[in-house]
Amino acid sequence: MPRILSFTDRLIGQFDNALRTLTPGAVSAATQSPAHAVAQTELSDAERRHSVGLMRINHSGEVCAQGLYQGQALTARLPTVRAKMTLAAQEELDHLAWCDQRLQELQGRTSWLNPIFYGLSFGLGALAGAAGDRYSLGFVAATEDQVSHHLSAHLQQIEQIDSRSSAILEQMLTDERQHEAQALAAGGIEFSPPVKQFMTGVSKLMTKVTYYI
């Protein structure tokens, strides 16, 4: 009979996840990177720096996703919803590892702000989970919608110059759209346009800062 984890057990698990998420190279992908079979294109210094900036943003986005899902898993009321959040976080670990690996290939680094991003996302996720599972799932859907917009914009900028990064972003975009659809299908509420607009504004500010820092 599987052991039922207590709140303290889950909290310890969240701390372990935070350490692995925030330590470059600590997470291994369960699925091979979509870039593994894609030939490396020769990039100019300016193109490489731009790719680094965009992949840093996407890596930080996955750090936020880990914080969000782990926070929601901690406070979700229904065991089924808690399990969905935990599974989604595991799937997002692949994205985190792919972005980390690509940054290393490009001789780039992850954002120095990631610990702050993780903490804020964890807090928001925990609040959303405590507010109720419909709100929690709706927040996931709205967040994944924001991420999908960023990924689409990044692809338009680099798909003609950086084929390896593009392959990663294309698969991430497919996965994020699927997560959004699953969250809504599971009963998540559709957030109002003003809430989405506020989330968009915050997201744009974060991406502009993360591109450089």
Interval 80-104: pLDDT, tens: 666 666 666 677 889 999 999 999 9
Give, in order, the Cα–Cα distances in Å from 96 to each of 10, 35, 144.
21, 14, 15
3-state secondary structure of 187: coil
Reported confidence tier of residue 76, pLDDT bands at 50, 70, 90: low
Provide, rounded to the nearest whole percent, the portion of the chain with pLDDT above 90. 35
Tell me which of 40 and 44 has the higher pLDDT: 44
Q: How far apart (Å, rounded) are the C-alpha atoms in residues 182 and 172?
A: 15
DSSP 124: H
Q: What is each CA distance from 94 to 11, 28, 48, 99, 171, in whole angstroms?
A: 22, 7, 23, 9, 11
Question: What average pLDDT is seen over the chain?
Answer: 84
pLDDT at 30 over 80: yes
Q: What are the binding residues for Fe cation?
A: 62, 92, 95, 144, 176, 179
Q: What is the pLDDT of residue 60?
A: 93
| Confidence band of 1 (pLDDT split at 50, 70, 90) | very low
Name the amino acid, one letter, at 65. Answer: A
Per-residue pLDDT band for 205 (boundaries 50, 70, 90) equals confident
The structural domains of the chain, ordered by start, are 43-212 (1.20.1260.10)
With a threshold of 0.75, does the pTM exceed it? yes
Task: Give the model's confidence band at 52: pLDDT under 50 very low, under 70 low, under 90 confident, else very high.
Answer: very high
Token pair of 155, please?
């692809």
List pLDDT tens digits, range 104-113. 999 999 999 9
Continuous H helices in 76-192:
79-105, 114-131, 133-158, 163-185
pLDDT of 43 reads 93
